[in-house]
Structures are given as structure tokens and as C-alpha cells.
Structure 1
Amino acid sequence: MTLAILCSGQGRQHREMFALTGDAPEAAPLFAHAATLLGKDPREFVRAEPDEGLHRNRAGQILCTLQALTAAAALVDVIPDGVIVAGYSVGEVAAWGVGGLFDANLTLDLVARRAEIMDAATHAGDGLVFVRGLVREQVTRLCERHGAAIAIVNPGDAFVVGGGREALDRFAADVRAMHAARIVALPVEVASHTPRLAAASVAFREVLNQVPVSLPPRTGARILSGIDAAPVLSRETGLDKLAAQVSQTVQWADCLQACVEADATGFLELGPGPALSGMAVHVAPKLPAHSLDDFRSLQGVRAWLAGHLSS
């Protein structure tokens, strides 16, 4: 049986996101390192920080990466070798940590630096909107008309679109006029995965030049690149794609399909939130898919994994 692990992007941070991992002894060093980056213990940070601070770009990237890394550390005794790991947006950097390509503390340092670089390249008013119910050709034409860009392609005619505020407002007005099923502004103040961050990709690649990569990973994990859903087989090519992802479209629907084609028999989303496991159900309705948020305890996660992997 082959498990696909999904590492979430930012946007679903919540006050109880570390409820399962907060007391796990295996996760304690990660919480301590993240505290040096946030200036406060992350478990206290998510409970006390105002909503605006919780969703600020740098904090959000650190918190969501920490969620994936602490979950993987707490479940290391039941996660088998040879898993498939895919990450959504900043979750792709987390996937490199979960899959063993990056050291876990280094992974946290990298997402903090990534966020700082992205913030420095961001224009005031930049952001992302989610739209569902139009086909890709329609969304592409609207983006070209208004100076926006597709940031993420999700399953089921669902897209994340990025750009400046005026461009997104015009895009949203046309989408509503075309009676799309849903459009909503996301709590992100960066036009991630669009050409507006081309300079950030270049700067982040320079940072990645200096980092050690364990390839192939000791566990035999298969880590997927977000921009083309291909497995990471080469250090230089993998890092090129990881940096390019900052300013290029994430092909998330293709990543989920690649998990299926690699014989995944179930999905576990490390969270926060259940967005990715819900998309996995859309792509592979016959395969079990759960988020960490679906469980009340780590023992519940272990029991599900044991049952799934033995079936």
C-alpha cells in the first residue's frame, strides 16, 4: 500500500491547529526552533495573535510548514518508507522537509526567508482570489484581459488567481457576470505563483544555492514538484523548480493525479484544514482521504494508518 502525504498551504491557520502535535515529544525541538523565528512559542502564537497576524504572509508560511513537520515527526513511527509527498504552495517546501530532502529546522528557516523575499517583491494591494465554475480557457482569457494570472489550478474547474487589487476587482466583476459558482478573496496579501513575483523566484533560488539536499531521500519518498507534478530526481532541477514555483502556476490537479498514477492507495493531509484531502476525494473518490483535522488524537491517526496500510 502506498500512502500519499499532502502538505497544506497557508490560509487555513486556526487557533487549535497544534492540538494534536503540541504535546508530542518528537515535535518539541521544532516548536522551539519556530519560536526563534516567530518571537513566541507557536502554540501560544496561534491562540493569542489577532487574526491579521495569524494570516500575515511570513507567520502563515512558518505556521503551516511547522504543522506539516510536527505531524510528520509525531507520526514517524507509523509513516512507511516509499510515501509520495506533494505540497500546495508553501506546502511544497514543507514537502521537501517531510520527505527528507531538507533538514526540518532548515525547512523552517527557508520558508521564513521565502516569505521575506516574497514580501519584499510584493506591491501594495496584491492578493489572490478563488474562483470555481468556469473552465480554464475562460479564466485564462479573463486574466489576460485584466492583467491577472492563474496562480493555482485545482481539480473541478477551480482556480486561484493572483494580481494587483484593481486587476482582481475587474476580474471578479466579470466572473460574477458569468455566473461562476463561487468567487472569494483569500486572506493572502501576496500574488503568489504569478509573474509579479519573478524577482522573488530569482532571489529565492540564490538562497537555495547554499542549502544541503539529501537526494535520494533515505526513506525512498517520492516528492513531487508543484509546477509540473514530476518527481524530484535531481538537486539542481528540483531546486530550480522549487524557486520557480514562487512565480509560476502550481498545477495542483496534476499533482493529485500524479499521486494516483504512482499507485497511491490513500491520502493523508497534514493540515491545517481539510482542503487538500477534499480535493483528493474529487480526483480519486474511491480512495480514502483524511486530514489531520479529522482526528481527535494522534492515536486515532496511527490507528487509521495502521488499518489502511495493512488492508
Structure 2
Amino acid sequence: MTHTAWVFPGQGSQAIGMGTDLLDVPAAKARFEQAEQLLGWSVVEICQHKENKVSQTRYTQPCMYVVETVLADLLTAKGQRPNYVAGHSLGEYAALYTAGVFDFESGLRLIQRRAELMDSASDGMMAALLGCDRSQLDVALAQTTDVVLANDNNDGQVVISGTPDAVEAMLSQVKSKRAIRLNVSGAFHSPLMAEAANQFNPLLESVEFQPANIPVLSNVDPLPSTDATALKDRLRRQMTGTVRWREISTQFAAENVQRVIEVGPGKVLTGIIKRTCPNLVLENIGSIADLPT
């Protein structure tokens, strides 16, 4: 029996016009209307805005959550069901929704608050390193304060996060094929997000988590779990913790997963996973046209 995992992308996969084809489906259109009532602004209008508003953190995260959960619901309505779910950063919220841990409204309220807090974080800097010397990076991180590994995507792609001085120091020390300073408002997935996490926790604590009906592999702990308390604790630590995506990818192999479907815009996660696990069957569901007939 082929085991399948659904994975949900995070910030960086958004694109102008994403999700607009879903409006032709009545159930999806109703979900967009529900989101507008909850958010106080239109996901459809933001996704279509020519000035790329969808790439502003406060809009990106709710828009991605809505599009990803709608696609997951449409897949489910066609009789599809994964054996495991996981999401990259904000994508973890869509994964938890898909696993039945909380309802759509609760997840959207959480992700809206998360997005607002992260968008207002003004301290810090992030940079992606492509093709870096991983052993050199690990030594440099151990010897440099105020900078951490934020995203461990695969052996050839990582993101560091910290104070601007510390991140620039790392970029000068670690050799890589390419270093990209990211256009973000703060040092996401680092201790510098502790204050934002503290402000987020009261809302998180107010949401009742249910045991997952599909095992979830979390960013801060790649082992699958269905335990509601454990999944909430993992989400509590996510904003300041490392996204351990490389380990999630290798865990899929350990769980006998042969097929991974990226549910959401773009093909970032399947591209990342391919480097770590080249033998997996990788698919993408990003639009109506991609859904199975």
C-alpha cells in the first residue's frame, strides 16, 4: 500500500492571482466569503492586487491558509486522504486544520494574529544560503551569538535568522554558492520572536485542540503525532524554533511514505524535498486544474 503525505507551503510561495480559479466552485467561494467576514478584508482582492499586497506578511499568511485549506477540502471531497500531513512554517496551520485539530475559523483567527505580530516585528534579519558548506555553517553558528538556523530545508538550502550584525557576520564567514538577504520584517524562527510569541500565546491557549485524525509532523519536532496537547505545544514553540524540514523529509522515508503532494501555490516544497528524498513521487495541487477528476 502506498503511503501519501500532504505538505503545505509557507511564505514565499504566494503569487498574485493565486486561488482565483477556485471561485468557480461554490463551496470554495463560500469559504472565501466566510474568510472575508472573519478577517475584515477580502482574500480575493488582496490576491488580485497589482501592487503585490499578497506578499505583505500580514496578508500573505491568511491568504495562503485560506487557499491551502480550500484545496485540501476539495481533495478530501474527491475521496482523497493522506496518511501524514506537514506544513512549512505557516503551512503547519493548514496541516493541523486538515488533520481535524481545529476548525477553519479557529485556524484563520490564529494565523491572522500570527501574521500581524510577525509583520510588526521590526528587529532582525534573515538570509538564505544556497550551496553552503554545512559543516562550516554549523561551526560558525556555534561560535556566533544572536544568530540561529531558522530553516533547515535540505543539505543545500538553509536560512539563518538573527540581529543584522550577526547575520552579516555569518555571511562573511560561511562560503556558499549564493547568499540572499530576505525581504522580511523581522528575524522569524529565532529567539528574537520571543515577544511576538508571548503576545500570540493567549489566543493560542484559548483555542481547543482536538486529537489529530491524521498524524502531523511538526516544524519543531518531525516525529508524527496525533496528540492534541503535544501538537499545541509544538505550535507554541514554532515562532521561535527552527523549521526542521530536512528532518521531516527524511522522516517520510522512515514512515514508508512513497508519495508527497504539495497542496498550495507553487512548487517550493516539492523542489526542496526532491533533493533530500529523490525517490519519492512528488505531485502538486495548486489549482482547480490540478485536482483529480
Calculate the TM-score normalised by the size of structure 2.
0.90
Paired position in structure 1 for 2:90: 90
1:199 partnered with 2:200 = no
- Three-state SS of the structure 2 residue aligned to 1:231 is coil
2:132–2:157 CA contact under 8 A, matched in 1: yes
Deviations 1:152-191 (A, max 9, x none): 101123211112333333333334xx2x112112232221
Q: What one-letter code is carried by the residue in structure 1 that aligns with 2:211?
A: L
- 1:307 — aligned with what? none
Pair 1:240 & 2:233 matched: yes
Counterpart AA for 2:107 = T
Report the alpha carbon displacement of residue 13 of structure 1 after superposing the two structures with TM.
1.2
Establish whether residue 56 from structure 1 lines up as the match of residue 52 from structure 2: no
Q: 3-state DSSP class of the match of 2:105?
A: helix
C-alpha distance in 2 between matches for 1:42 and 1:252: 28
Structure 1 counterpart of 2:205: 209
Q: How far apart are 1:128 and its partner, in Å?
A: 1.8
**DSSP-derived class of the 1:302 partner:** coil
| Offset, 1:38 | 4.9
Structure-1 residue corresponding to 2:25:
24
The answer (yes or no) to whether the contact 1:8–1:87 under 8 Å persists in 2 is yes
Assess, with a 3 A threshold, how the Cα gap between structure 1 residues 117 and 300 changes in structure 2: closer, same or farther: closer
Aligned mates of 1:130, 1:167 — CA distance in 2? 14
What displacement does 1:130 show? 0.9
Q: Where does residue 262 of structure 2 map in the other structure?
A: 269
Q: 1:170 to 1:19 in 2, by over 3 A?
A: same
Q: Which amino acid aligns with 1:73?
A: D
Instruction: Report if aligned partners of 1:202, 1:243 keep a CA contact under 8 Å in 2.
Output: no
Residues 135 and 99 of structure 1, relative CA distance in 2, 3 Å threshold: farther
Report SS of the residue matched to 2:10.
Answer: coil
Q: What is the deviation of 1:291? A: 2.1
2:151 pairs with 1:161? no
Tell me the distance in 2 between the aligned counterparts of 1:61 and 1:43: 14
Q: What corresponds to 2:74 in structure 1?
A: 74
**Matching residue within 126, 132, 135 for 1:137:** 135
Q: Does 1:189 align with 2:185?
A: yes
Shift of 1:299: 5.0
> How far does residue 20 in structure 1 lie from its aligned partner after superposition?
4.1
Q: Is the 8 A contact 2:99 2:216 kept in 1?
A: yes
Q: CA RMSD in A?
A: 2.2
Look up the match of 1:14.
15
Distance across 2 between alignment mates of 1:36 and 1:137: 49
Q: Could you list the per-position Cα deviations for residues 141-162 of structure 1 after superposition, in whole angstroms to 9, with x for gaps in the alignment?
A: 3344363211010112321111
Partner of 1:260: 253
Whole-angstrom CA distance in 1 between matches of 2:23 and 2:162:
36
Amino-acid identity (%): 26
Change (3 A) 1:134 1:190: same
Counterpart residue number, 2:43? 42
**Structure 2 CA distance, aligned partners of 1:107 and 1:27?**
16
How far 1:281 moved relative to its partner?
1.7
Residue 149 of structure 1 corresponds to which residue in structure 2?
148
Aligned twin of 2:215: 222
Describe the SS at the equivalent of 2:266. coil
- Relative to 1, partners in 2 of residues 1:33 and 1:187: Cα closer, same or farther, differing over 3 Å? farther
Q: Which amino acid aligns with 2:227?
A: S
Query: Is the 2:148–2:161 Cα contact (8 Å) retained in structure 1?
Result: yes
For the 8 Å contact 1:11–1:188, the answer to whether it is kept is no
User: Secondary structure, in 3 states, of the residue corresponding to 1:160?
Assistant: strand
Q: Which residue of 2 aligns with 1:308?
A: none
Contact kept? 1:26, 1:73, Cα under 8 Å? no
Alpha carbons 2:189, 2:240 under 8 Å: kept = yes
SS at match of 2:159: strand
Q: Paired residues, what number?
A: 291
Call closer, same or farther: CA 1:25–1:229 in 2, change over 3 Å: same
The residue type equivalent to 1:13 in the other structure is: Q
